[in-house]
Amino acid sequence: MSQLPTLLQTLLAFGFALGLLVIIHELGHYAVARLCGVKVLRFSVGMGKVIYSRRLGADQTEWAISILPLGGYVKMLDAREQDLSSLSEQDLKREFGRQSVWKRIVIVAAGPVANFLLAILLFTGLYVHGVSEPVSKIRVPSSHSQAYEAGLRHGDVIVSVNGQAIQTFSELRWKLLQLGLEKTNAQIGVKRANFDNSALLDQRVFDLPLSQLSNKDLETDFLAKLGFSVARPAAILSAVVADGPAMRAGLQAQDQILEIDGKPLLDGLELTEIVNASANKRLHLLAKRGERIFELDVTPESEMLNGQAIGRIKVQMMLAPEMVQVESSVPDALVKGSKKTWDTSILTFKMLGKMLTGDVSLKNITGPITIADYAGQTSRASLVSYLSFIALISISLGVMNLLPIPVLDGGHLLYYSLEVLTGKPVSERFGEIAHRAGVALLMALMAVAFFNDITRLMS
C-alpha cells in the first residue's frame, strides 16, 4: 500500500507533462493555421474516439478529448480527408492544400517550434528564479586516472572549459559531453587551493584528452571513466549514535577523520566506502577534535544488506556536495535558456545520427514507461527538477517531430521541401507508400522503446 501514493504521483506527473506538451505542440499548429487563414475543424487532445467535445468560435472548431491519452492532433479543412463538394468558394479558399507551399511549411513547423519555445520559456524562468546546483569542484580519488595524469587534482575548482566560464558541475559535465562526442580535447581552467586551504591560487589550465572516450562510455557515467566526480565534504561527523562502535571507540560529533590505517582520507564518501567494506575488521583512525590530533581503533559492526555483510560504525555525516545558487537577470536568462535549448537539440540530433550509424546503442531510446518514471522521480525531488524535466522532454518531442518520417511533421516538411525544389507536389502514390513505410518505422521504434523500458524495469 505504501507504493500507491508514489505510483499515483508518478502517473499524475506523467499525465500533466504529456498533456502540457501535446497541447503546446498542437496549439502551435492551430495558431499558425488560423493566422494563415486555414479553417480548423477539430483540436483534439488524445487520439481515437472522441469522448468529450465542445464547439467554439466563429468557425465552430470542435475542441475535443479523445480516448487514447498518447498524442493529439489538429484537423484542418483538407481535400485529402474530406468531401468538399458542398462548400462555398469562400470556404474552399481556406482549405489547407490550396495554401502556398510556404504557408504549409510554416503551419507544419509550428508544432515543433512551439515545443522549443516552451523549453526556452521554462529554462528562462528557472534561471531567473535561481537554481541550486553543485559547484564545479571535483573529486579525484585515483592517481592512476586520466584526470590525474592530465594534472587535475582532488579539490580543484573548474572555472572554464575551452575558455567558456562555468560555475556548476552540471555545466562541466554538459560541456565535456559535447566535446566528447566530437572527440575534441578539453582545456580545463582550474583554481587550486593552497596546501592549508587558506586561499585559491591563480587559474591554471590543463589539457584533458577526450579522444580515448568511446561512444559507449558517453552513454554512461563518462566522468567516472575519466577519473573524477563531484567533490564531497570532509569526513566530519555530524552525529554519533549512542552505544554504536564509533561512540564506544571514543568518537564525538564534530570530530574529523583524517586517516584510516595510515591512508589519508579524501572525504566523507571515502570513509563510508571503507567502513562499508570492513565489517568486523578493526580500523586504525587518525582524527582531529578542535586543534587536537589523536588516534583510536574502531571495529565496524556487520549488518546484512541484500545478502551482503556491510560494515557500520553508527555515525552521521554530511555527504551532499557544496552548492551554489545560480540566478540571472531576465535578458541573461533568456539568452541562457535559448542556448540551452539549442545545444540540447543539436546534441539530440547528433545522438540520433550516431544511433543510425551504430556508434551509439539503440538502448538509449526510451519509451513512455521510462519517461513516466523520470516524471515521478523529478516531481518528488522538487518543482525545479520537474520543470527542467518537462523542458528536456519538450525539446525531445520537438526534435523527434522534425525527423523526416512521413507520419511525423518532419515527413511533411520533407514533402513540401521537394515541392519547393521540383515545383510540383509529390504524387499520391509516392505519398501512400511513404506513409506506410513511416508507420512501420514508427511502430518499430515504439517496439524498441517499450523493449528498453521493460528491460530497465527488470534490471
Q: List, by residue number, the catalytic residues.
A: 26
225: CB partners within 8 A, 6+ apart: 146, 213, 217
On whether the CB atoms of residues 320 and 233 are closer than 8 A, the answer is yes
- Name the nearest CA neighbour of 73 among 346, 412, 368: 412
Contacts of the segment 275-279: beta carbons below 8 A, 24+ positions apart:
275/300, 275/311, 275/312, 275/313, 276/300, 276/310, 276/311, 276/312, 277/311, 278/311, 279/303, 279/309, 279/310, 279/311, 279/312
- Name the nearest CA neighbour of 267 among 230, 310, 314, 240: 230
Q: Which three cell numbers stand for residue 184?
A: 575534441
- Name the nearest CA neighbour of 178 among 336, 335, 351: 351
For residues 415 and 423, what is the distance between their CA atoms, to the nearest angstrom?
11
For residues 380 and 97, what is the distance between their CA atoms, to the nearest angstrom?
46
For residues 453 and 365, what is the distance between their CA atoms, to the nearest angstrom?
9
Q: Which three cell numbers stand for residue 188?
A: 580545463
Phi-psi region of 307 (alpha: psi -120 to 50; beta: other; left: phi over 0): left
Phi-psi region of 285 (alpha: psi -120 to 50; beta: other; left: phi over 0): beta
On whether the CB atoms of residues 33 and 106 are closer than 8 A, the answer is no
